[in-house]
Amino acid sequence: MAYWLMKSEPDAFSLEDLMACKNQTEPWDGIRNYQARNFMRDDMRIGDKIFFYHSNTKVPGIVGIAEVASEPYPDFTAFDSNTKYFDPKSDPDNPRWILVDIHFIRKLDRIISLAELREHEAELEDFALLRKGNRLSIIPVGEEHWNQILKLEYS
């Protein structure tokens, strides 16, 4: 099993939105970064755990846990000219953009803020989220970092 952090702006799609979805499951569409796409396409497996992270908000941070709920498949929004994620160069026979479905597991008892994570940089050495300039919306999380972060929820 692998661990991930997936960022979403809560005004676009929040943890509460995921909780309200049918079966609490939703496609993670609209990824238009090749490295993030490659993580979904090549590395994510059903059952992998996900930190759901609210970004671009007053208090950015980890708000919940989800899991990968499907094998990767073509991102249908790339083929729909009525969506903001339409990509005229993406071919349905050889899709450029991929997604996975994610499924809600639980809401954290409290937000683990980015500021709090930064306070624990020594324990979270080399955690990609804390690197300067990291703007990826999907980030791998090592098992040790996963466990360290989970401990923060109740500290």
Please tell me the predicted confidence (pLDDT) of residue 122. 93
Backbone angles phi, psi at 142, to 5 degrees: -70, 155
pLDDT, tens digit (0-9, with 9 covering 90-100), for 99-154? 999 999 999 999 999 999 999 999 999 999 999 888 899 999 999 999 999 999 99
CA–CA gap between residue 55 and residue 92 (Å, rounded) = 31
The pTM of this model reads 0.95
pLDDT of residue 28: 98
Cα dihedral 25, 15, 48, 112, rounded to 10, equals -170
CATH superfamily for 3-152 is: ph1033 like domains (3.10.590.10)
Q: Is there a contact between 104 and 24 (Cβ–Cβ < 8 Å)?
A: yes
